[in-house]
Amino acid sequence: MVSKGLWTAPPFLEIGLPLQNKRLIVAIDGPSGAGKSTVGKALAKRLGYLYIDTGAMYRAVALMVKRSGIGLKDEQALEGLLSSLHLSFGNHEENCLYCDGEDITEAIRTPEISRLASEISQMKVVREAMVRLQREMGKEGGVVLEGRDIGTVVFPHADLKFYLDADPEERGRRRHKEWLEKGVTVEFKKTLQEVIERDQNDMNRSLSPLKKAEDAIFIDSTHRSVEEIVNEMCHIIDDKRKQE
Ligand code: DC
């Protein structure tokens, strides 16, 4: 609530607000290594919005599943874990992710957690819990959410939807560079193979597969800088606001 003297603003109610004044919901979907995180963070910063990395949330579940030793077939135990999970994003520059107060930003970025996250993200019980949480986090607008199903499932009525993609080789190179920077030595060929395998998992799973929403704007990031892409997105957002 915002207090101004005796007048107290009502809770944020957007229904019927013109787009010019609205704090938007911006969805960015696409495969891994397409640049969603870098672009999403930069766009959120430019707009003064909250950035929500939904992939990090699936990774957090994977980390907790690994630590707890719960078997993936044990739905009841999984439900228990999901219902007691407290995830929150730090709203400073680093976009840290906390689980029950613990900073897990680094712990979720390992090849093992990448694989497990891809596996658990195919499970209904996990997706339902994450989608619920993501809707809650984004419902008031002023957010950039990135993931695989934001424009198709989480916020099908998002104000703006982008689908970011790049050549698989380029995406593999970006992932490989990230691993090397983290001190993880892995062959490029293996990283590329994993990127392609994860794409297959994400695109072919039965629940909320990765696909471009019909009304999403396709952007190829292969030979483009982050700044160029963010500028393009900002122009599109400005144009859309003007048209309303
Ligand atoms: O974007 P990422 O690599 O951090 O995502 C980790 C895994 O989570 C990836 O295999 C796809 C899955 N994911 C998903 O199914 N839905 C989302 N909205 C975001 C990620």
CB 198 less than 6 A from any atom of ligand 1: yes
The verdict on residue 43 lying in a domain is yes
CB 59 less than 6 A from any atom of ligand 1: yes
- Ligand 1 pocket: which of 32, 58, 106, 208 to mutate (most atoms <8 Å of CB)? 58
The verdict on residue 14 lying in a domain is no
Q: What is the CATH number of the domain that holds 174?
A: 3.40.50.300
The verdict on residue 203 lying in a domain is yes
pLDDT at 93: 63
The verdict on residue 18 lying in a domain is no
CB 58 less than 6 A from any atom of ligand 1: yes
CB 40 less than 6 A from any atom of ligand 1: no
The verdict on residue 17 lying in a domain is no
Per DSSP, what are the bridge partners of residue 165?
Answer: 220
The verdict on residue 218 lying in a domain is yes
Segments forming the whole domain that contains residue 100: 24-243
The verdict on residue 206 lying in a domain is yes
pLDDT at 95: 78
The verdict on residue 236 lying in a domain is yes
pLDDT at 90: 83
For residue 150, report the distance from its CA to the centre of ligand 1, in Å.
11
Q: How many domains does the chain have?
A: 1
C-alpha to C-alpha distance for 66 and 116, rounded to whole angstroms: 8
Which residues of the chain are under the pLDDT cut of 70? 1-18, 91-93
User: Which structure tokens are listed for 182?
Assistant: 């983290």
Alpha-carbon dihedral 12, 14, 20, 23, rounded to 10 degrees: 50
pLDDT at 18: 67
CB 174 less than 6 A from any atom of ligand 1: no
- Residue 64 has what DSSP assignment? H
